[in-house]
Amino acid sequence: MNRKWIVKEPGNPAVVRQLSSELGIDQVLGNLLVQRGIQTFDQARDFFRPSLENLHDPFLMNDMDKAVDRLSTAIAGREKIMIYGDYDVDGTTAVALIFTFLRDLTSTDNLCYYIPDRYDEGYGISYKGIDWAKSQGCKLIIALDCGIKAIEKVKYANSVGIDMIICDHHLPDPELPAATAVLDPKRTDNTYPFDDLSGCGVGFKLVQAYAQTHGIPFENIVKLLDLLAVSIACDLVSVTGENRVLAYYGLKQLNDNPRKGLESMIKVSGLENHRISIDEIVFKIGPRINAAGRMESGRTAVDLLISKDDDDARKIGATINAHNNERKSIDREITTEAIEMVRSAKDFVDRKSTVVFNPKWHKGVVGIVASRLVETYYRPTVVLTESGGLITGSARSIPGFDLYEGIESCADLLENFGGHTYAAGLTMKPENYEAFCKRFEAYVQSKISTEMLTPFVNIDTYLDFKQITPKFFRILKQFQPFGPGNLSPVFITENVYDNGNGRKVGSDNGHLKLELIQEDEPYRAISAIAFNQSEHFDHIQSGEAVDICYSIAENYYRGIANIQLRIKDIKEREDII
């Protein structure tokens, strides 16, 4: 896939020089800061030294006072509380966070948690879950990472004597559920200064508010931030503002003193003796936690995350790891089938969206398959299967196309839908499938341009290898945690060669392991890895120069950390657009 390279506009030169001088850093680094909106010494200090003192007052969030009052009444009256969450990483970490906090305040006999079955109940609050809460004698449900659209379900809960506190971060409809409290920074009447918290993040703000009200020292709840860091990483919320502070301290907790369950995940992921970053959570820890809900039950993930016992955590961790291995095998098989289906479609060339359906596909992996198809064909994609007599599935998008709006345009054909700009879920009756395919394609055709269907790499700036000094890399690492809104910087270096040690690697020889030198520095080779780019091997092996764009990372091998270039794309001396 030929990618367009887009180099960002540099920051104001005068501001870059001033900031670089004040901070005593390379102007390349100063430019990276200015490109991120950081223009003063004080802003840079807050960026490089996130402080928990900069967290917002939780009572700035609509209904927080009502939520704390109701939770306080429940704890004082020893009412039974059910904690209800979605089956993905955000939902299960949120449930674990609230459960862990509350079990220090009330008897565990007064607490229970509920994760809906992905196949039987689907996403969000279910009547079955409310009925189970009633059967357990619960008087209060705290719903996490779901509930903002559950108008009828909340009415039903109220009718059977159960109050609800909703902690969600998804887009609401004009009408809000009639819950005791609706905590959601995306409410249209939102009064909270930061609107991109994860579902777990909203749950943490409830904990923060309760602790504030009842004189619980803040340091007592800092230990919960390892869960929140995992949520922030996996739910792809922005790592800016309040999330940057929460992620920074959550990563510190995860690396220095993780809870038993996350320690188990670290071990089965091969991340011991390794400074874990957002990337390691996204690609190693998160998929394993998600696999519980995809292959069996999200309850297993919560069981892991609230475990206090080393042996229990190890056993549950091994079970979840086995689920993840099974998940990988299934999603590879389905991806192969889906790619063949797309390729054989008669109208493949003319379409601007991808919609595929197979009633036999495993519901738990269709979201992953949709992401794989976006990587392969770079189009808004919907992958569907059959469950409970309905067609259901997941959708993924490309930059610039609002997937949620596209699916919403087909709302009258759907039984249920929800999600974000770039990821969504949907359910429909089988008889509406053909109409959905046509209308969704028509909507995409009307909103998307050919240029938007061209994949691209956003590049921060040019860099020569001689500029990658130990001091440069030490400061670059302090730009972490990386994530949406603060992505790992991407650089271009031109005219580089392999020193002759380059080779293909991977089970299918699809990747390149290179030792790269630049023309004016022939004696310094830098290690590089290029995933899924082995088609350039013959050109590189012949001694020809290439231009590369890449991020700079730390590679751990046998406990030793070295600088490694993570190559995003290779151009064989072509012009950069």
The SS3 call for residue 574 is coil
Task: Please count the residues of the chain.
Answer: 577
3-state secondary structure 505-560: ECCCCCEEEEEEEECCEEEEEEEEEECCCHHHHHHHHCCCCEEEEEEEEEEEECCE
The rounded mean pLDDT for the chain is 93
Percent of the residues in the chain that have a pLDDT greater than 70, as a whole number: 98
Residue bearing tokens 């200064």: 193
pLDDT class of 559 with cuts at 50, 70, 90:
low
For residue 164, what are the β-bridge partners?
Answer: 141
Give the neighbor-by-neighbor strand order of the sheet with 414-419.
354-357, 381-387, 390-396, 423-428, 414-419
pLDDT class of 95 with cuts at 50, 70, 90:
very high
Are both 212 and 296 inside the same structural domain?
Answer: yes
Please indicate, yes or no, if residue 46 is contained in any of the structural domains.
no
Ramachandran region, residue 211 (left: φ > 0; alpha: ψ -120 to 50; beta: rest): alpha
Residue 497: predicted pLDDT: 92
DSSP string, 218-241: THHHHTTHHHHHHHHHHTT---SH
Please indicate, yes or no, if residue 33 is contained in any of the structural domains.
no
Over 80: is that where the pLDDT of 206 sits? yes
DSSP string, 169-221: -SPPPSSPP--SEEE-TTSTT---S-----HHHHHHHHHHHHHHHTT--THHH
Distance CA 366, CA 427 (A): 13
Are both 166 and 240 inside the same structural domain?
Answer: yes
Please indicate, yes or no, if residue 177 is contained in any of the structural domains.
yes
Please indicate, yes or no, if residue 206 is contained in any of the structural domains.
yes
Over 50: is that where the pLDDT of 260 sits? yes
Residue bearing tokens 């579902």: 199
Comparing 331 with 102, which gets the higher pLDDT? 102
Distance CA 461, CA 546 (A): 17
Q: What is the mean pLDDT of residues 139-155?
A: 96
Q: What is the mean pLDDT of residues 154-170?
A: 97
Are both 432 and 521 inside the same structural domain?
Answer: no
Residue 577: predicted pLDDT: 42
Please indicate, yes or no, if residue 234 is contained in any of the structural domains.
yes
Q: What is the mean pLDDT of residues 485-500?
A: 93
Are both 278 and 180 inside the same structural domain?
Answer: yes
* Domain stop point among 289, 319, 349: 319
Cβ-proximal residues to 371 (8 Å cutoff; 6+ apart), any chain: 396
Cβ-proximal residues to 517 (8 Å cutoff; 6+ apart), any chain: 465, 496, 497, 498, 499, 523, 524, 525, 526
Distance CA 410, CA 387 (A): 20
Residue bearing tokens 């929140």: 228
Instruction: List the structure tokens of 486.
Output: 């603060």
User: Residue 482: which domain range?
Assistant: 457-571
Over 60: is that where the pLDDT of 576 sits? no
Distance CA 425, CA 123 (A): 9
Please indicate, yes or no, if residue 15 is contained in any of the structural domains.
no
Residue 348: predicted pLDDT: 84
Residue 290: predicted pLDDT: 87
Are both 481 and 527 inside the same structural domain?
Answer: yes
Which one, of 186, 206, 190, lies nearest residue 83 by Cα? 206
Are both 510 and 422 inside the same structural domain?
Answer: no
Please indicate, yes or no, if residue 471 is contained in any of the structural domains.
yes
Q: What is the mean pLDDT of residues 150-158?
A: 97
Contacts 24+ apart (CB under 8 A), 127-133: 127/153, 127/156, 129/84, 130/156, 130/157, 130/160, 130/162, 132/82, 133/82, 133/84, 133/157, 133/162
Residue 26: φ, ψ to 5°: -60, 145
Are both 315 and 401 inside the same structural domain?
Answer: no
Are both 212 and 90 inside the same structural domain?
Answer: yes
Residue 522: predicted pLDDT: 62
Over 80: is that where the pLDDT of 162 sits? yes
Cβ-proximal residues to 442 (8 Å cutoff; 6+ apart), any chain: none
Over 70: is that where the pLDDT of 575 sits? no
Residue 96: φ, ψ to 5°: -65, -40
Distance CA 371, CA 423 (A): 9
Please write the tens of the pLDDT for every residue from 209-221. 999 999 999 999 9
Pairing, β 181-183 against β 461-462: unpaired
Are both 343 and 215 inside the same structural domain?
Answer: no
* Domain stop point among 278, 295, 319: 319
Over 90: is that where the pLDDT of 166 sits? yes
Please write the tens of the pLDDT for every residue from 262-302. 999 999 999 988 889 999 999 999 999 988 887 778 899 99
Distance CA 534, CA 1 (A): 13
Q: What is the mean pLDDT of residues 64-72?
A: 98
Cα 352 from chain centre: 26
Cβ-proximal residues to 183 (8 Å cutoff; 6+ apart), any chain: 61, 62, 63, 64, 67, 165, 166, 167, 168, 202, 205, 206
Please indicate, yes or no, if residue 537 is contained in any of the structural domains.
yes
Distance CA 106, CA 267 (A): 32
What is the chain's Cα-based Rg?
25
H or E element, residue 75: helix 64-76
Are both 333 and 410 inside the same structural domain?
Answer: yes
Are both 226 and 267 inside the same structural domain?
Answer: yes
Distance CA 408, CA 381 (A): 15
What is the number of structural domains in the chain?
Answer: 3
Please write the tens of the pLDDT for every residue from 368-396. 999 999 999 999 999 999 988 999 999 99
Percent of the residues in the chain that have a pLDDT greater than 90, as a whole number: 81
CATH code at 526?
Answer: 2.40.50.460
pLDDT class of 420 with cuts at 50, 70, 90:
confident
The secondary structure of residue 257, as a DSSP letter, is S
| Contact present, 519 and 556 (Cβ < 8 Å) | no
* Domain stop point among 423, 453, 483: 453
Are both 461 and 448 inside the same structural domain?
Answer: no
CATH code at 234?
Answer: 3.90.1640.30
Distance CA 453, CA 491 (A): 23
Which one, of 548, 557, 538, lies nearest residue 518 by Cα? 548
Please write the tens of the pLDDT for every residue from 446-485. 999 988 999 999 999 999 999 999 999 999 999 999 999 9
Instruction: List the structure tokens of 197.
Output: 């918290």
